[in-house]
Structure 1
């Protein structure tokens, strides 16, 4: 697949994801009527509604993980094809994450009692940030990518008492002590 075709397919996949999210009833932008570039930790209620927040770091780490897993599994395939597969995986997560099943799970198992899901703009930019992580992991030595991932995890933990690691734990096997600490 040529570069322009790969780019076109990638953009098409992202656009299709946005259309599906809209069909699922997701708001295109924050119901507040604003589009903010960044929502800091002290505005957690606005998280997942704008372009970026502390959870954006998790999506960049997704890109790191997808790059390395797909490199190990499919290193004979061109990097563009692996990037398209990463888009499919991240888009599938965005669709699942914004389903009633996962939204309800967040509400019951985590401190995100008022979580209402992502806006379409947030989901689309989450996919784009994943791609940023994918390309970063492709260009940097593995050790640099690991260090950046650890720094991102620690920064999010410090800022909002949550990160990719805790998010996975709390979704799959909620621990009451973690929930209390996060809510404290």
Structure 2
């Protein structure tokens, strides 16, 4: 049992190191630490506002929680016999890589041109780090809950954010990969 506990601690430490590397890399990329407004909010309610993707949480936080659900499923498929902490480390690596890519000029420009995020400037380091934390919380939720509960929560998040802000994980991926003018027009009508 002690060996399993120390193995778990090791992998959690590796996951934390990955998060720290993500934070340092974003600093080196020139990302701002917090919102240029000079404040830190628990939640930013605006979608097409300068504060979006700058604070602890926003309407895209459910998408990152769903990332955790999906990465838990991926870890279960490819590392089924590995300790949970090792699978969480894999999920953290994937999310951190996405956060670095998402905040690169090529993806920021793609969001501006192909999605409803016209004035998107990328995430603050705080928001990006919290996106990774929310992914980890989603991962741990999926690890503890029955599959049907995780699916219901994911579907609820997608429907609710789709209805409320006309965007969600599904639409975000679709519009990033294969923009649809009718969806872009519908989203812009908000």
Q: TM-score, normalised by structure 2?
A: 0.94
Tell me which residue corresponds to 1:15: 20
Question: Residue 168 in 1 paired to residue 168 in 2?
Answer: no
Q: Distance in 2 between matches of 1:5 and 1:62?
A: 23
Tell me which residue corresponds to 1:113: 118
Q: Deviations over 1:95-116 (max 9, x none)?
A: 0000000000000001111000
State whether residues 8 and 84 of structure 2, in contact with CA within 8 Å, keep that contact through their aligned partners in structure 1: no
Question: Residue 75 in 1 paired to residue 80 in 2?
Answer: yes
Q: Deviations over 1:120-175 (max 9, x none)?
A: 00010000000000000000000100000010011111221100000000000000
Instruction: Give the C-alpha shift of residue 45 in structure 1.
Output: 3.0
Tell me which residue corresponds to 1:152: 157
What is the 5 A alignment of 1:17-36?
A: 17-36=22-41
Tell me which residue corresponds to 2:3: none
The DSSP-based 3-state class of the residue aligned with 1:2 is helix
Q: Cα gap change, 1:153/1:67 in structure 2, threshold over 3 Å: closer, same or farther?
A: same
Q: TM-score, normalised by structure 1?
A: 0.97
Q: Distance in 2 between matches of 1:58 and 1:42?
A: 14
Structure 1 regions of 5+ residues with no counterpart? none
Q: Distance in 1 between matches of 2:45 and 2:125?
A: 19
Structure 2 regions of 5+ residues with no counterpart? 1-5
The DSSP-based 3-state class of the residue aligned with 2:157 is helix
Question: Residue 89 in 1 paired to residue 94 in 2?
Answer: yes
State whether residues 59 and 129 of structure 1, in contact with CA within 8 Å, keep that contact through their aligned partners in structure 2: yes
RMSD (Å) for aligned C-alpha atoms: 1.1
Of residues 129, 136, 146, the one that matches 1:131 is 136
Tell me which residue corresponds to 1:39: 44
Instruction: Give the C-alpha shift of residue 6 in structure 1.
Output: 2.0
State whether residues 41 and 160 of structure 1, in contact with CA within 8 Å, keep that contact through their aligned partners in structure 2: no
